[in-house]
Amino acid sequence: MRPYRSSIARAVMLGVSLSLAVPPVALAPLTAVARPAPDSFADLAAKLLPAVVNVSSSQVITARNGVGPEMPIFPPGSPFEQFFKDFLNRNRPGQRGGNDQPPPERRAQSLGSGFIIDPSGYIVTNNHVIEGADEVSVTLQDNTILKAKIVGRDESGDLALLKVDAGKPLPTVSFGDSSTMRVGDWVLAIGNPFGLGGTVTAGIVSARGRDIHQGQYDDFIQTDAAINRGNSGGPLFNMDGQVIGINTAIFSPSGGSIGIGFSIPSDMAKKVISDLREYGHARRGWLGVKIQQVTPDIAESLGLKDAAGAMVAGVTDGGPAERAKIHSGDIILKFDGHDVKEMHNLPRIVGDTDVGKEVPVVLWRDGKEVTVETTLAERPSDEKLAAADQPAQPDNGTRPTDIAGLGMKVAPVSQDLKDKYQLNSDQKGVVITDVAPNTPAAERGLKPGDVIMEVQQNQVASAGDVQKQVEAARKADRKNVLMLIQREGGVQYVPLSLSKVKQPG
């Protein structure tokens, strides 16, 4: 990487050469006014440090028979590699010459950070800091160590609320409005990196709305303030000393800070923390739909101008969506006044909406916008959501039929096909029995055993139903025909090109 000084010099030189290469033109100067950097963060840090704590959690790890300590990692060819391998093999339970008794229980410890939000001792941290712990303790700035009780935890949002009894009011910090933070704003991070204790780092907001694939509610603030292991659960402050983020994750090939850290926005955390305090768990709004991304091909096949929104791929029985008459194949464009720009926006918008609230949902259905009203329920536990519905289909034994132009053969569900492809006893739809190579069906990854449940958002029960919908799409000059496919991984809408079958070679 070039030194900072030489990079600036190069930029100035390029500016000069470019200005000489074009005729002089009268251009309005580009002006930008930035607030000056603080002379020092010392006064702000001194005010905030007393409310930031170290969080230590521990749990008992019971070794299983036959499992001993892990092998340390050495460079390839290191003389220590064979030494440790021999040592561990000799001392592994059940090995010759070793101790036949399993190793004793050991206690694993995790270190993180937190911050006090109430003088009575309520402390916010990350769920992963205290996950699985049977003991949690908190160390205040004056080195006082207090036992902490877990009030509530939220795995989906990676947040937890603790409570300590200090016998006196504790210093606190308050949540700010993370929605007002802009890229380039100064921020201050305080935490417990590597167990070193209260550490202050400064930086800016590098980006907003980051999805790092940690969960369906990802909406992180990215910052270049140094965040390391042990900073998890610590606060990210604005220049008014308000918490606008909870430091949660870093991107780092080395395990140390490289200036890419991620914080949960305070606007998302405030509601969760309030729920944890009142109910012991987070109460998130729930619509009861399975969704998928709207691709350009799907949008075209349904006459939707832009590939936006979230496509409903399934509706939970008895859920708010079913009660509102939302169907598979509908595309959710707006929810409670919020634009759903892409699939990943919807879970966060719905989750942030109050349980029991009646909200309008704008759908794309049958080539036009339709608005329905629904009352949100509370999101069930992951265990309850794991159950999937399997609709019914009567048995019918018919020979496979070729669907011209798509490169596949289909047949109604029969007992033989149920047995061959391990389908459910009450399976509904039409089974794909053969897929030709270099065809639209093959290009989209369809394979024998997949079940076509809908074509162009119409249920199908026979090869004739499929052919009818395909021909209707062709007559409407559609470039693609949309099919709802059920396979091992669930249900998904798949657009198939209506162009001619490609020939091999």
Q: Give the catalytic positions in this structure.
A: 128, 158, 232
Q: State the DSSP code for 50.
A: G
Question: 263-272 burial string, b = 16+ CB within 10 Å, else e?
Answer: bbbbbbbbbb
Q: Do residues 250 and 344 touch, judged by C-beta distance below 8 A?
A: no
Among candidate residues 446, 444, 445, 424, the one with its CA nearest the CA of residue 433: 446
Q: State the DSSP code for 238.
A: -
DSSP 3-state assignment of 502? coil
Q: Do residues 449 and 503 touch, judged by C-beta distance below 8 A?
A: no
Q: Do residues 121 and 166 touch, judged by C-beta distance below 8 A?
A: yes
What token pair was written down for 177?
A: 């409005």
Query: Judging by beta carbons within 10 Å of its beta carbon (0-12, 13-18, 19+), is residue 459 exposed, middle or buried?
Result: middle
- What are the beta bridge partners of residue 221? 263
φ, ψ for residue 404, nearest 5 deg:
-60, 135
Length of the chain: 505
Question: Could you give the residue ranges of the DSSP H alpha helices within 28-151?
Answer: 42-48, 79-91, 127-130
> In whole angstroms, what is the distance from residue 330 CA to residue 347 CA?
16
Element (H, E) at 473: helix 463-475
DSSP 3-state assignment of 157? coil
What token pair was written down for 388?
A: 């999937």
Chain position carrying tokens 């007002």: 180
How many CB atoms are closer than 10 A to CB 66?
Answer: 10
Written in H, E and C, the secondary structure of 135-156 is EEEEECCCCCEEEEEEEEEECC
- Spatial neighbors of 377 by CB under 8 A, at least 6 apart, are 285, 286, 288, 319, 320, 355, 356
Report the phi/psi class of residue 73: left, alpha or beta, with left for phi > 0 and alpha for psi in -120 to 50: beta
CA distances from 202 to 184, 189, 488 (A): 12, 6, 48
Q: Do residues 501 and 407 touch, judged by C-beta distance below 8 A?
A: yes
> In whole angstroms, what is the distance from residue 380 CA to residue 370 CA?
27
How many CB atoms are closer than 10 A to CB 132?
Answer: 12
Angle ∠(266,214,327) on CA atoms, nearest 5: 95
